[in-house]
Amino acid sequence: MTSRPPPGKLMIMDACVLIDFIKAERVVLELVVKHIGSLYVTSSVVDEVNEIDDENELIALGLTVIEPEMEDAYAAGVQSGWLSFEDWLCMLTARRGGFTCVTNDRNLRKLCRREGVPLLWGLELVAELHKLGGITGKAAYSFAESVRKSNPKHVSEDIVRRFADVIRRQENDRSRK
């Protein structure tokens, strides 16, 4: 018997969050799909991620690799400036498909907000997973620390401290019920 993901959120990850999750603990991706909703990545993002051999590793974790629409690829290809082709493609695919974009990239987040694309930070996804009972508080904090150690430029001690506060509040709320 195979378990199917809940009819929850449709989410698309950019390369920075995908790399953080793979470096920290791949199984968390599987837990997200099981407890929160479907996780997608574009094929161009898969090509960016040196931490995997091929897309089958992601598929085994429950992620869905999608080919972007040709129209979106063309639109992303003519952009210049502060975002990469892959980031533009992520936003365009998210907007077209009704996805929540999971990214820690501030410039991509600005663009998504401007275009009305829902957003989540990478650790917000883990907090949601904890809230739904898919990961313990201790495991969530350990995951956040692993992300910080592998990506200290973008995930600071302060970010992990604020994440730990969210997890503690969730656990306090749970114990009061």
The full set of domain ranges for the chain reads 9-121, 123-176
CA distance linking residue 114 with residue 109, whole number of Å? 9
DSSP string, 96-148: HHTPEEE---HHHHHHHHHHT--EE-HHHHHHHHHHTTSS-HHHHHHHHHHHH
pLDDT digits (tens, 9 = 90+) for 35-71: 999 999 999 889 888 889 889 999 999 999 999 899 9
4 pLDDT above the threshold of 70: no
Strand partners, 38: 10
Q: Which two tokens stand for residue 19?
A: 């790399």
Model pLDDT, residue 131: 95
pLDDT digits (tens, 9 = 90+) for 96-110: 999 999 999 999 999
Report CA-CA distances (Å) from 22 to 25, 140, 168, 174: 6, 14, 25, 29
Other residues' Cβ atoms within 10 Å of the Cβ of residue 51: 13
- CATH fold of 9-121: Rossmann fold (3.40.50)
Report the amino acid identity of residue 74: Y
Percent of the chain's residues with pLDDT above 70? 95
CA distance linking residue 133 with residue 79, whole number of Å? 41
